[in-house]
Structure 1
Amino acid sequence: MKLRTLVFLNAFAVGISIGIVNYYFQHNWYYFMYALGISTSVSYLVFYFLIEKYVYSKIKIIYKMIHSLKLGKDLKDALGEYVSPDPINDVEQEVKEWAREKKTEIDDLKKQEKFRREFLSNISHEFKTPLFAIEGYVEALQDGGMDDPELAKSFLAKVARNVDRLSVLIKDLNEISKLESGEIPINYQKFELTALIKEVMESLEFKAKKSKINFVFKDKYDQPTWVEADREKIRQVLVNLLSNSLKYGKENGFTSITIFELHDQFLVEITDNGIGIEEKYLPRLFERFFRTDTSRSRQIGGSGLGLAIVKHIIEAHDQTINVRSTEGLGSTFGFTLKRVKDIRINIPLINN
């Protein structure tokens, strides 16, 4: 409601009241109308002056400060700016919007604080486990373990494994930190996706045989599937996802790689028939250090950062990654890549 409307309604209410009192004593409609007109006019002028001077002007200043500070402007500059002709309603809307924004910010800060506490707790645990193991084996060697060559060799091998685990953890932490800060650039290039998939499968063939899991990549994907992305980072994505399928797959099971052709993208899906993941864990699966089965995950190994790194790499390409899973039946991880159409390759002619 605008100021003049508000003042007029109040003045008219006063005028009606005075007119009724006048009519009560005079019993004359002429005096009623006269009193109504005079008292309404005088009340309007008085109310307008008082509200404008002592209330409305203050609200204008409040509106200026709220509106301008929301835009991040300096207070001195804010007070000299033009104000809406109806700041009372605008102040109400601004304050409501501001309150909603602040509530959202507070909720986000609470989530970040919870995430920070969980992250510190997880990273502390991840470091303590191998460090305590190394400390225990070293103390055992110092307390006479070196006298038994076979025992000393076994302890040193376990120390080496835990040192390797620490190295992997530090390397992955450093990489995910650089990915989040944008320090690692995305080196786009055009390359053949099926060729890269076959390379990664060959590099993991020994590990697949050891896990008794068969890779499935159908012959129909021999046709070119050209994409534009960072080849080495996509290799890392494939290695992480395929390695995960081997870690959590079933003996004599399979891991299949499927490519779906979309309008301007390729969708790559990696499916296994392993232990699967409970539905309640799926939203948190790409969080750093999140493990669905803590004891088994630590026995298998890994830094707990693989899926988080995968997510950062795919999102750095402005693409998406998703997961579907059913406990006991298996999981499917899918990610998209930019498709390159009508690529031409110059093949040198060979004269016979």
Structure 2
Amino acid sequence: MQKKTIKKSYKFAYRTALYVTLFSSVLVGLFLYYFKVINWQFIFYPFLCFPLCFGIVQYRVERFIYKRVKKIYDDLTLLESTSLRQMPITTDMGTLTKEIDKYAKNKKIEIETLKVREEYRKEFIGNVSHELKTPLFTVQSYLLTLIDGGINDEKIRDKYLARASKGVERLTYIIKDLDMITKLEVGDLSLTKENFDIVKLVQNVFDLFEMKAAKKQITLTFDINYSKPIMVHADKERIQQVLTNLIVNSIKYGREKGTTEVSIENLIKNKAIIRVTDNGEGIAKENLQRLFERFYRVDKSGSRKEGGSGLGLSIVKHIIEAHEEKIYIESQLDVGSEFSFTLEKSE
């Protein structure tokens, strides 16, 4: 681009110098002819005038433009790139305009991104405050009741202490999950990868939540009978956490007498994809993009009847991305949802 720009600048100076030389040669020739002093030496005039005009025009135009463009850079700080300062400023205003437009668009995108981040920050702080405030106030109210004399009633004491304990447990979940997400984001939480059977791991998670699913008469099952192990290479503990969060979510928001189904398929030669599918209430399309945000809830009423820290899906996303893998979501309202993620297969 630089060579092209310099050529355009010289072309401008060349044409300007040529016009000045032709005009001045005609004017001087007519003047000398009028006074009858013209001679053969006049032929050298155009050859002296042209290079002199070319040099003056080229130098003055470049300096003229450079000072003003530099002032734009320094005073308005519109452009953060020094690429134009490092090359001679030329008369190619088309190139200059394109550069200014390009960096102005980049600035606009940066400003819009900052606005989105600011909105997200405000929403996140509000969500954290709400998530911590609810169990804190719950625990406080139960303890105050006990302090005010409720402790003397054995039934009230046992019931309120149990509820206060659940509130403290909820606070512990939130703090631990926030700590984990922070470590995942900054890379402080290292992964211990190993080879393990993903089929067996899924079955272990099924066994852990069999009773929880039974309360809603939800069946936990594989799509087919996996008679042979499917070996993957990942952090076993973290992948179990991923499966736990996805299966617990499918139970929470699943239909009575519904089904949570897990399938494991070969994606490509060295990849497997694990799908967790349910026939629950589903998720509206407008909520899918924000589903993995911290504390984001599809239920805008903020109901806490299902419990949890509100960070489960965000943790799932971070763990999968820490493995340099992908997670996907497909859902249809009143039909069900499917979460799927990829893992590297063992060699």
Q: What TM-score, normalized to structure 2?
A: 0.82
Larger displacement relative to structure 2 (328-337 or 258-267): 258-267
**Correspondence for 1:292:** 298
CA deviation string 1:297-336 (max 9, x = no partner): 5111111100000000001111100101111111000001
**Correspondence for 2:184:** 179
**Correspondence for 1:55:** 62
**Correspondence for 1:107:** 112
Q: Report deviation, 1:70.
A: 3.9
Q: Report deviation, 1:4.
A: 1.8
**Correspondence for 1:344:** none
Q: How does 1:1-352 map to 2 (within 5 A)?
A: 2-15=8-21, 42=49, 45-46=52-53, 48-49=55-56, 51-52=58-59, 55-56=62-63, 59=66, 62=70, 70=81, 83=87, 88=92, 91-263=96-268, 264-295=270-301, 297-341=303-347
**Correspondence for 1:346:** none
CA deviation string 1:189-211 (max 9, x = no partner): 11111111111111111111122
- For 2:52 and 2:30, the matched residues in 1 are separated by 26
CA deviation string 1:266-296 (max 9, x = no partner): 1110000111100110011001100001446
Q: Which runs of 5+ in 2 are unaligned?
A: none
- For 1:223 and 1:162, the matched residues in 2 are separated by 43
Q: Which amino acid aligns with 2:282?
A: G
Q: Which runs of 5+ in 1 are unaligned?
A: 73-77, 342-352
Distance 1:71 1:286, change over 3 A: farther
Distance 1:39 1:204, change over 3 A: same
Distance 1:315 1:37, change over 3 A: farther
- For 1:157 and 1:145, the matched residues in 2 are separated by 14
Q: Is the 8 A contact 1:18 1:35 kept in 2?
A: no
CA deviation string 1:222-276 (max 9, x = no partner): 2221111111100000000000000000111110001111222111100001111
Q: Is the 8 A contact 1:260 1:268 kept in 2?
A: yes
Q: Is the 8 A contact 1:217 1:257 kept in 2?
A: yes
Q: Which amino acid aligns with 2:283?
A: I
Q: Which amino acid aligns with 2:56?
A: F
Q: Report deviation, 1:12.
A: 3.5
Larger displacement relative to structure 2 (295-304 or 332-341): 295-304
Q: Report deviation, 1:116.
A: 1.0
Q: Is the 8 A contact 2:231 2:345 kept in 1?
A: yes
SS in 2 for 1:221: coil
- For 1:219 and 1:271, the matched residues in 2 are separated by 13
Q: Is the 8 A contact 1:228 1:337 kept in 2?
A: yes
- For 1:329 and 1:35, the matched residues in 2 are separated by 94
SS in 1 for 2:346: coil
Q: Which amino acid aligns with 1:118?
A: E
- For 1:87 and 1:340, the matched residues in 2 are separated by 61
Q: Report deviation, 1:150.
A: 1.2
SS in 2 for 1:269: strand
Q: Is the 8 A contact 2:218 2:251 kept in 1?
A: yes
SS in 2 for 1:262: strand
Distance 1:109 1:199, change over 3 A: same
Q: What TM-score, normalized to structure 1?
A: 0.81
- For 1:40 and 1:10, the matched residues in 2 are separated by 15
- For 1:53 and 1:10, the matched residues in 2 are separated by 12
- For 1:338 and 1:283, the matched residues in 2 are separated by 25
Q: Could you tell me the percent identity over the aligned residues? A: 37
